[in-house]
């Protein structure tokens, strides 16, 4: 059975043009959504319609943007329709997944959506690398500053406090503190501040040399535990 779907973004807009085109395409039932933006995942009436689709049904829209605005959203909806055993058709774009040509167009849309996701991911990675080169922090802000990490190391290595008590003092989880202490063992090239990095680099070198001799320093041993 051919089922039409019509949608307008505001209550003031008229559905008559869409409904006329859908009736001309042979739709006996037309489901309507009023005042629903195309940015929404699915209007209330569309969600009900998608849940009721069965094998042999064909969902028809006047134009693709009536179903969804983004390509990814359209691909997901049309895929769900296909899994229900139903077909999909868009009158303006002449797409009909019940035909071989329509399925070809749909697969091309899927390939374009995947290509678009790849480009976005590539641009994101490039932006993150550029930000790192400029010395900017990428991701969530650190919970502990370098001064706090150095202070925590001093408290632990001196035996004044345990890791648990230091973590409680700085109001962080013990795992967070451990990761922060491991930061001190990173290579010199991965730090920014010259004075701090030089001290850290000397300490880290000492830890690595001790590890090679199978004799860890107290701090390296504490971090590794």
Active site residues: 9
Contacts 24+ apart (CB under 8 A), 35-44: 35/8, 35/9, 35/10, 35/11, 36/7, 36/8, 36/9, 37/9, 38/7, 38/9, 38/65, 38/66, 38/68, 38/69, 39/69, 41/73, 42/68, 42/77, 43/7
H-helix or E-strand containing 210?
helix 194-212
Tokens of 20: 């006329």
Length of the chain equals 225
Q: List the one residue out of 81, 99, 102, 89 whose CA is nearest residue 2.
A: 89
Q: How far is CA 10 from the centre of its chain?
A: 30
């Amino acid at each position: 059975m051919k089922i039409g779907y019509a949608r307008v973004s505001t209550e003031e807009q008229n559905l008559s043009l869409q409904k006329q085109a859908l009736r001309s395409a042979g739709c006996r039932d037309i489901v309507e959504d009023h005042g629903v933006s195309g940015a929404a995942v699915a209007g209330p009436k569309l969600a009900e319609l998608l849940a009721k689709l069965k094998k042999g049904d064909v969902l028809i829209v006047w134009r693709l943007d009536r179903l969804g605005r983004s390509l990814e959203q359209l691909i997901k909806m049309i895929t769900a329709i296909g899994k229900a055993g139903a077909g999909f058709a868009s009158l303006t774009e002449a797409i009909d997944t019940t035909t071989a040509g329509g399925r070809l167009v749909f697969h091309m849309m899927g390939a374009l959506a995947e290509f678009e996701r790849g480009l976005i991911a590539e641009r994101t990675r490039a932006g993150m690398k550029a930000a790192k080169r400029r010395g900017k922090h990428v991701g969530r802000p650190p919970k502990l500053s370098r001064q706090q990490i150095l202070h925590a190391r001093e408290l632990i290595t001196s035996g004044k406090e345990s890791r648990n008590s230091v973590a409680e003092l700085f109001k962080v989880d013990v795992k967070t503190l451990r990761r922060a202490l491991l930061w001190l063992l990173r290579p010199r090239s991965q730090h920014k501040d010259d004075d701090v990095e030089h001290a850290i680099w000397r300490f880290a070198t000492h830890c690595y040399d001790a590890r090679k001799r199978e004799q860890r320093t107290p701090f390296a041993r504490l971090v590794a535990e």
